[in-house]
């Protein structure tokens, strides 16, 4: 929970009062005047605190006696370093987000239930941005997934903060409130995507995606449709049907629609919903296979973003989300290498490797979504290739697109979210690697340029519509370690990129 308060920090009696301080060259850390500044000066003189990024200074006002820090009534005061000042907006936003995440993490280790956070008014950002990024950092860092664990009193574990109070720090209250609400909605959505991804394969199935979308539609007045196996057979969706053949779980194509006005342009979002990927007949190695429950992070990001869209109801745009959902298992009826399938629209594909399945289900969803909804632009998100990890590590999401304007908008949205993208090339030379002797296309082009040829496969099904593909295989989990990102766990990547794009960019 997070809310704005006009309570004076000096009067706050809760568990933890948080301030932020910027680093300055050979000078005391920059923080607000008053009793906290006096305490920071003492720590700085002792060489214990300079305001570096990630640095913290904790003290207990009651130990100070009358005057000075003793004027504060909070049980504890935490000062968090922001790092050095700068003039790059995305970097400053991330600076605030990381500092807020550090504060939330420390509050959790202190088992603080009620925390008042004073916004850092000295950061060279608009008040709305400061509040937005503070709210994001606090709530994202406060995330826990412990549904399947018993509490262990013998372990020193971080406990989620029950209530965050935000003080404007002298910034315009109206702007702070708007920013806080934007950041809180985005952070909660990212945490919802993390929840979906953290569920085990037997706890989150293709039907779970359908149930979740129906609930979202009821709560936010959106329209939901779910195509089952019978409907897919009639439509000729050989990709989704083929991948699902080895599983006892029936596939689903989940469709969620937000409509502002019929005349407005439509943005189509498509998210890969592989709720467990064993690789099919081309089975994956046993080591690490448990992480393949995360192969649905693209679908989770799309549905989580749609919840915010449904609540914020942006004008001037319609948004339609599709999640093709299935498992990929090596059952007796499973798709085999050498098989040929027919995608929606009639394109035939030779299956070279059944572990290259994500592109098969996305191809059907893209072709169907584009023909049905006539979008102005299309964005898909998928944990598609291990090759993107070889190329970019766990630090940047791979971006491939057939439209520069769309790509530039997503690059900006990623930078503002602290989820950077890196654009890779596309071209006919890569498409040649997918030529088949027996079908229109084959589903893998081999190891060279694996991320690019996977995108080239998808490009076959989008035509001339502006389209961008985000390969999140390296960032959906094990993402760059940050104060507000869980270690070796789902990051919720993509949710805030999509929201930044929708909030800031129009489709013309």
Residue where one domain finishes, among candidates 131, 158, 193 = 193
> Strands (DSSP E) along 231-385, which ranges?
252-258, 266-271, 273-277, 318-328, 340-342, 348-350, 377-382
- Average pLDDT (209-229) is 97
In degrees, rounded to 5, the angle at the alpha carbon of residue 247 between the alpha carbons of residues 245 and 252 is 80
Considering the domain architecture, whether residues 36 and 167 belong to the same structural domain is answered as yes
Q: Let me know if residue 206 belongs to a domain.
A: no
Please, which pLDDT band fits residue 73 given cuts at 50, 70 and 90? confident
Query: Which of the residue ranges 43-47, 121-125, 156-160, 188-192 would you say has the lowest mean pLDDT?
Result: 156-160
- The confidence score (pLDDT) of residue 132 equals 98
Considering the domain architecture, whether residues 174 and 302 belong to the same structural domain is answered as no
Residue range 85-109, pLDDT digits in tens: 888 999 999 999 999 999 999 999 9
Q: Which residues contact 90 (CB under 8 A, 6 or more apart)?
A: 415, 416, 418
Residue where one domain finishes, among candidates 163, 193, 223 = 193
Question: With DSSP H G I counted as helix, E B as strand and the rest as coil, what are the percentages for the chain, rounded to 5?
Answer: 40, 20, 40
Task: Give percent of the chain above pLDDT 70.
Answer: 98
Q: Let me know if residue 154 belongs to a domain.
A: yes
Pairing label, strands 252-258, 318-328: antiparallel
Tell whether the torsion through CA atoms of 255, 258, 261 and 263 is positive or negative. negative
Considering the domain architecture, whether residues 268 and 353 belong to the same structural domain is answered as yes
Considering the domain architecture, whether residues 333 and 288 belong to the same structural domain is answered as yes
- The confidence score (pLDDT) of residue 69 equals 61
Query: Average pLDDT over the chain, rounded to whole?
Result: 94
Q: Let me know if residue 207 belongs to a domain.
A: no
Say which of 24, 177, 259, 284 is annotated catalytic.
284
In whole angstroms, give the CA distance from residue 223 to residue 356: 31
Give the single-character DSSP code of 333. Answer: T
Considering the domain architecture, whether residues 285 and 382 belong to the same structural domain is answered as yes
Considering the domain architecture, whether residues 378 and 496 belong to the same structural domain is answered as yes
- Average pLDDT (233-238) is 98
Considering the domain architecture, whether residues 126 and 231 belong to the same structural domain is answered as no
In whole angstroms, give the CA distance from residue 82 to residue 86: 11
Considering the domain architecture, whether residues 8 and 67 belong to the same structural domain is answered as yes
Considering the domain architecture, whether residues 183 and 238 belong to the same structural domain is answered as no
Q: How far apart are the first and last CA of the chain?
A: 37
Considering the domain architecture, whether residues 267 and 182 belong to the same structural domain is answered as no
Residue 199 exposed, middle or buried by CB count within 10 Å (0-12, 13-18, 19+)? buried
Q: Is a pLDDT exceeding 90 seen at residue 463?
A: yes
In whole angstroms, give the CA distance from residue 56 to residue 42: 14
Q: Is a pLDDT exceeding 90 seen at residue 40?
A: no
Please, which pLDDT band fits residue 290 given cuts at 50, 70 and 90? very high
Domain hosting residue 111, numbered range: 2-193
Residue 10 exposed, middle or buried by CB count within 10 Å (0-12, 13-18, 19+)? middle
- Average pLDDT (60-79) is 78
Considering the domain architecture, whether residues 170 and 230 belong to the same structural domain is answered as no
Q: Please choose, from the candidates 255, 455, 219, 254, the residue with its C-alpha nearest in 3D space to the C-alpha of residue 375.
A: 255
> Residue 127 belongs to a domain with what CATH number?
3.40.220.10
- Average pLDDT (222-237) is 98
- Average pLDDT (305-315) is 97
Dihedrals φ, ψ of 211, to 5°?
A: -65, -40
Q: Let me know if residue 107 belongs to a domain.
A: yes
Please, which pLDDT band fits residue 64 given cuts at 50, 70 and 90? low
Residue 145 exposed, middle or buried by CB count within 10 Å (0-12, 13-18, 19+)? middle
- Number of independent structural domains in the chain: 2
In whole angstroms, give the CA distance from residue 80 to residue 12: 18
- Average pLDDT (289-301) is 97
Q: Let me know if residue 202 belongs to a domain.
A: no
Say which of 76, 194, 359, 482 is annotated catalytic.
359
> Do 253 and 234 meet the contact criterion of CB atoms below 8 Å apart?
no
In whole angstroms, give the CA distance from residue 415 to residue 419: 6
Strand order in the sheet with 441-442: 340-342, 348-350, 441-442
Please, which pLDDT band fits residue 67 given cuts at 50, 70 and 90? low
Pairing label, strands 441-442, 348-350: parallel
Q: Let me know if residue 201 belongs to a domain.
A: no
If one compares 442 and 148, the residue with the highest pLDDT of the two is: 442
pTM: 0.96
Residue where one domain finishes, among candidates 143, 162, 193 = 193
Query: Which of the residue ranges 125-139, 146-160, 449-463 would you say has the lowest mean pLDDT?
Result: 146-160
Distances (CA, A) of 80 to 36, 37, 417: 12, 13, 21
- Average pLDDT (55-72) is 77
Helix (H) or strand (E) holding 218: helix 206-220
- The confidence score (pLDDT) of residue 475 equals 98
Helix or strand or coil: residue 135? helix
In whole angstroms, give the CA distance from residue 174 to residue 170: 11
- Average pLDDT (160-165) is 95
- Average pLDDT (73-84) is 93
DSSP per position, 115-133: EEEE--TTSSS-HHHHHHH
> Residue 383 belongs to a domain with what CATH number?
3.40.630.10
- The confidence score (pLDDT) of residue 507 equals 85
> Do 68 and 59 meet the contact criterion of CB atoms below 8 Å apart?
no
Length of the chain: 508
Please, which pLDDT band fits residue 295 given cuts at 50, 70 and 90? very high
In whole angstroms, give the CA distance from residue 323 to residue 262: 23
Residue range 325-369, pLDDT digits in tens: 999 999 999 999 999 999 999 999 999 999 999 999 999 999 999
Residue range 241-256, pLDDT digits in tens: 999 999 999 999 999 9
- Average pLDDT (459-467) is 97
Considering the domain architecture, whether residues 343 and 450 belong to the same structural domain is answered as yes
- Average pLDDT (181-192) is 98
**Is 284 a known active-site residue?**
yes
């Amino acid at each position: 929970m997070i809310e704005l308060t006009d309570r004076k920090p000096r009067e706050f009696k809760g568990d933890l009062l948080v301030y932020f301080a910027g680093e300055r060259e050979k000078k005391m850390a920059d923080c607000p005047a008053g009793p906290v500044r006096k305490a920071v000066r003492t720590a700085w003189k002792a060489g214990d605190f300079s305001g570096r990024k990630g640095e913290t200074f904790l003290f207990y006002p009651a130990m100070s006696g009358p005057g000075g820090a003793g004027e504060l009534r909070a049980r504890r005061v935490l000062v968090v370093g922001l790092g050095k000042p700068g003039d790059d907006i995305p970097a400053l936003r991330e600076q605030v987000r990381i500092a807020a995440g550090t504060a939330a993490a420390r509050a959790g280790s202190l088992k603080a239930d009620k925390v008042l956070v004073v916004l850092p008014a000295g950061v060279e950002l608009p008040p709305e941005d400061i509040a937005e990024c503070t709210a994001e950092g606090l709530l994202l860092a406060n995330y826990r997934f412990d549904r399947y664990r018993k509490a262990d009193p013998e372990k020193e574990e971080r406990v989620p903060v029950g209530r965050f109070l935000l003080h404007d720090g002298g910034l315009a209250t109206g702007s702070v409130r708007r920013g806080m609400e934007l950041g809180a909605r985005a952070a909660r959505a990212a945490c919802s995507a993390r929840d979906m991804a953290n569920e085990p394969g037997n706890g989150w199935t293709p039907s779970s995606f359908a149930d979740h979308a129906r609930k979202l539609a009821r709560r936010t007045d959106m329209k939901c449709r779910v195509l089952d196996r019978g409907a897919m057979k009639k439509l000729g969706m050989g990709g989704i049907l083929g991948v699902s053949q080895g599983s006892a779980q029936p596939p689903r194509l989940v469709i969620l629609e937000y409509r502002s006005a019929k005349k407005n342009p439509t943005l189509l979002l498509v998210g890969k919903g592989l709720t467990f990927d064993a690789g099919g007949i081309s089975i994956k190695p046993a080591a690490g296979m448990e992480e393949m429950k995360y192969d649905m992070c693209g679908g989770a990001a799309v549905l989580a973003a749609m919840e915010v869209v449904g609540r914020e109801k942006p004008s001037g745009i319609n948004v339609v989300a599709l999640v093709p959902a299935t498992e990929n298992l090596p059952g007796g009826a499973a798709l085999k290498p050498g098989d040929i399938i027919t995608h929606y629209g009639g394109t035939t594909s030779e299956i070279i490797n059944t572990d290259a399945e994500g592109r098969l289900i996305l191809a059907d969803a893209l072709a169907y979504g584009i023909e049905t909804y006539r979008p102005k632009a299309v964005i898909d998100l998928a944990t598609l290739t291990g090759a993107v990890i070889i190329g970019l590590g766990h630090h940047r999401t791979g971006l491939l697109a057939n439209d520069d304007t769309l790509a530039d908008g997503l690059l900006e949205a990623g930078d503002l979210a602290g989820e950077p993208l890196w654009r890779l090339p596309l071209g006919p030379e890569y498409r040649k690697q997918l030529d088949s002797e027996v079908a229109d296309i084959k589903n893998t082009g081999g190891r060279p340029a694996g991320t690019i040829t996977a995108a080239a496969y998808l490009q076959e099904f989008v035509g001339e519509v502006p389209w961008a593909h985000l390969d999140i295989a390296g960032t959906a989990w094990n993402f760059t370690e940050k104060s507000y990102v869980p270690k070796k766990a789902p990051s919720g990547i993509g949710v805030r990129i999509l929201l930044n794009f929708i909030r800031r960019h129009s489709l013309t």
